[in-house]
Structure 1
Amino acid sequence: MSTAILSAPFQAEFDANSQEFAFAGVIRPRSVDEIAHSISALRHAIEQARGVLYINVKRLAQMNNTAFHAFSRVVLDACRTRSDIRFVVVTSSVVGWTERMFRHLGKIEPQITVEVYDSKFYPGQSFVEDTSFIPILRTQTKMTWRHERTILPRHGMRAGIHMADICCGIGDFAVLVRKEFQPARIVALDHSKASLAYARDVAANFGISDIEYTYGDASEMLLEDNQFDLVTCRHSLQIFNQPDLLLKELYRICKPGGRVYITNEKNSHCLGEPRSQSIQWTYNEVAKLFGHFEMDVELGPKSRRYLADAGFNDIRVESFMVTNLDGDPQDFADVITAWENVYAGEMAVKRGDPPEFIERFRQGFRDHIFAALHPKGYAGWPIWAASGRKPL
């Protein structure tokens, strides 16, 4: 059961099942009277709560001092009258001011704590956001674009649409889409400030100034409902430990009748010849390694199920194989070298794998490179592209 109090552009909602009181939007009242209904709702939520009441401010874009002091007073008063209740204020690094604003409440009352939601949400984030990985990401996009440029129109891409590229990374995909398909609007969002800075440079180098690069958490976006004809999210669901939450957000910002397009991998299906057995062993171990860090690089074929469970219909799924024959084989080899450095050189080390395992693990990557560069060799990296339509 949940109750919502709407006063555009601000929302306060209490979910009794999860004992969570959530704020969203802009709360800038001129007087406390303007938010009296929401203050009353918070008091009612506290009366109902047992144990812990979560106060969710992840989507709180703005709050003035009038509102902050009014709501804080309700919480502080409850702390002094009820020793049986604790308050956990859930913030996000995307809206860092909320952490600063609410943090001092915990210094006043030990029953109040503040948690930065996304600091623990992405267990593998430090690996995939390493800036040393940026150049190889451009090579990967160059290799996949040869396939995606023909695939995208089957999944809702066309001129004149409003599009969001979520988890945009270094922004090169958004630039390629802008040049090839001419959407009327592109919002590109990512959780890495370093990647976004690089993305803006990439766009500037191509003379593109109308892509709206935005810092944000893909699982709790400060974007309005139902505003994009096409929402893309490439190679990203597989690196988050709760992909269903991301899909829920992608669904929310997509217009009814619009589509959400995702790409994901199945790393255990990476292949190469010659030396296929060594290559196969290593990529089976890659899947296990990512699983250790709560990521699923086997997600590709599961795309249909995830989209269906999120509520989409007219689901379209296709796969393609990026190979050493897609342009310069050295590009393929460079990608595998980067994988070896991160997967064997960082992730396996952090997991605590012994040297003999890491050496065998590395050998599979080296054999994949050998296959890619061999004059008679073949090396492949499989990707699943899928999209679903948000019902009207």
Structure 2
Amino acid sequence: MSVAGLSPNFKVAFDANSQVFSLAGVIRPRSVDEIADSIAMLRQAIDDVRGVLYVDVKRLIQMNNTAFHAFVRVALDACRARADLRMVIVTSSVVGWTTRMFGHLNQIEPQITVEVYDSTFYPGQSFVEDTSFIPILRTQTKMTWRHERSILPRHGLRPGIAMADVCCGIGDFAVLVQKEFQPARIVALDHSKASLAYAREVATNFGITDIEYTYGDASEMLLEDNQFDFVSCRHSLQIFNERELLLKELYRICKPGGRVYITNEKNSHCLGEPRAQSIQWTYNEVAKLFSHFDMDVELGPKSRRYLADAGFDDILVESFMVTNLDGDPQDFADVITAWENVYAGEMAVRRGDTPEFIERFRQGFRDHIFAALHPKGYAGWPIWVASGRKPT
């Protein structure tokens, strides 16, 4: 890979192995001469590729007309000179102006297409970002916080540090951390505009003004390298189909010596008594259902391997069981009801399961609720916690 820079805020690179030419940061030259080296790199990339050249602008924060027209002119001229060449410009909904700015090029030149990278990146996104799920997400956080508040200090969370909560969802975890640990800075990032709107509303209602809620793609964050002492990413790796990309980003924004903290589940280990057999069957099927949509709710015990492969050291792993005895058993039952509605009521239908299967599937959730509310019953939901240190 070759790299050149116009300024500390702008980077251009070409990866010959994957045939990706990338632009990142802020590019606002006063004249084309200022970006002559970058234009030359694009020309060289075009000469080197066969087939498709991918032009990655997912991290392009700003670009003025001088730069835009200079790069586009090279691209158009190349396509007209080479019938064998195709260009795919890869944008992101997080930086929506790039889609609008580059989008019309296909009308000018059919060999150029524009793809919105994150429109299909998260296969399970529609399930987990349903706004009707928000009350249950709050209940889940309340139930897990009883455990995590004592676990987090062992994994590096302490007052006065800079923290990022990636895939923050409705933002309730960031609020609890801010109240309990008082970090000097919290950036909370998510890809769901609806969740962020809710998060900002909650923060306003509680008079919290020092959480920076940010819209962003967790696999291509517009955050600088080495910014945060502590980076959390809870219940999110398990719903990404390209977990290595997300871990690479968590590693990048973490300071050397800082820690990345992740939580994930192993759904097949959800349990309950009485009616244990029905409950176990259903949660085994939950794992298979998520796998169908390229998600892995069995990821919890794999956390150590993922962190090690991403380059972290000093890896800590522990687990805890959320149960019907943690506070009000009805809270546990409400969470399971929401799972039943989404997993059996939407995901199984989308997969094409038969009515007979879905009815048996539902029964396991109902039996889990029965166990949670039974005066002598026990119901559990296991969570794996892991963190790794970014080497200095």
Q: Could you tell me which residue of structure 2 aligns to residue 87 of structure 1?
A: 87
CA distance in 1, matches of 2:179, 2:359: 43
Aligned residue in 2 for 1:157: 157
In structure 2, the residue matched to 1:309 is 309
- Specify the alignment match of 2:290 in structure 1: 290
> 2:125 is matched with which residue?
125
Partner Cα separation in structure 2 for residue 35 and residue 155 of structure 1: 44
Query: What is the aligned partner in structure 1 of residue 214 from structure 2?
Result: 214
CA distance in 2, matches of 1:327, 1:383: 17
**Offset at 1:322?**
0.2
Kindly state the Cα deviation for residue 206 of structure 1 after the two structures are TM-superposed.
1.4
Counterparts of 2:243 and 2:232, CA distance in 1: 14
Q: Provide the secondary structure at the position in 2 that maps to 1:233.
A: strand
SS at match of 1:42: helix
Report Cα offsets for 1:177-217 as digits up to 9, x if no partner: 00000000000000000000000011112110110000000
What is the correspondence of 1:103-142 to structure 2 with a 5 Å cutoff? Answer: 103-142=103-142
Q: What SS class does the counterpart of residue 258 from structure 1 fall into?
A: strand
List alignment gaps of at least 5 residues for structure 1.
none
Q: Which amino acid aligns with 2:65?
A: N
Q: Counterpart in 1 of 2:2?
A: 3
The Cα offsets for residues 147-182 of structure 1, whole Å up to 9 and x where unpaired, read as: 000000011100000000000000000000000000
- Residue 180 (str. 1) matches residue 180 (str. 2): yes
Q: Cα deviations across residues 322-358 of structure 1 (Å, max 9, x unaligned)?
A: 0000000000000000000000000000000000000
What secondary structure sits across from 1:189 in the alignment?
A: strand
Amino acid at match of 1:43: R
For residues 288-331 of structure 1, give each alpha carbon's deviation from its aligned partner in whole angstroms, at most 9, with x where no partner exists: 00000000000000000000000000000000000000000000
1:278 corresponding residue in structure 2: 278
1:378 aligns with 2:378: yes
What is the distance in 2 between the residues matched to 1:183 and 1:205?
20
Q: Partners in 2 of 1:60 and 1:243 — Cα distance? A: 23
1:388 Cα deviation from its structure 2 partner: 0.3
In structure 1, C-alpha distance between the alignment counterparts of 2:157 and 2:205, rounded to whole Å: 24
Which 4+ residue blocks in structure 1 deviate beyond 2 angstroms?
A: none
Task: Give the match's secondary structure for 1:37.
Answer: helix
Alignment of 1:181-200 (within 5 A): 181-200=181-200
Paired letter, 2:247 = L
Residue of structure 2 in register with 1:325 after alignment:
325
- Which AA in structure 2 matches 1:12? V
Question: TM-score normalised to the size of structure 2?
Answer: 0.99
Aligned to 1:18: 18
Q: Deviations over 1:48-92 (max 9, x none)?
A: 010000000000001011000000000000011111110000000
In structure 1, give the amino acid aligned to 2:278.
S
Q: How does 1:264-275 map to 2 (within 5 A)?
A: 264-275=264-275
State the partner residue of 1:361: 361
**How far did 1:128 drift?**
0.2
The answer to whether residue 49 in structure 2 is matched with residue 57 in structure 1 is: no
* Range 162-171 or range 198-207, more displaced: 198-207
Identity among equivalent positions (%) equals: 85
Is 1:202 paired with 2:217? no
Secondary structure at the counterpart of residue 30 of structure 2 = coil
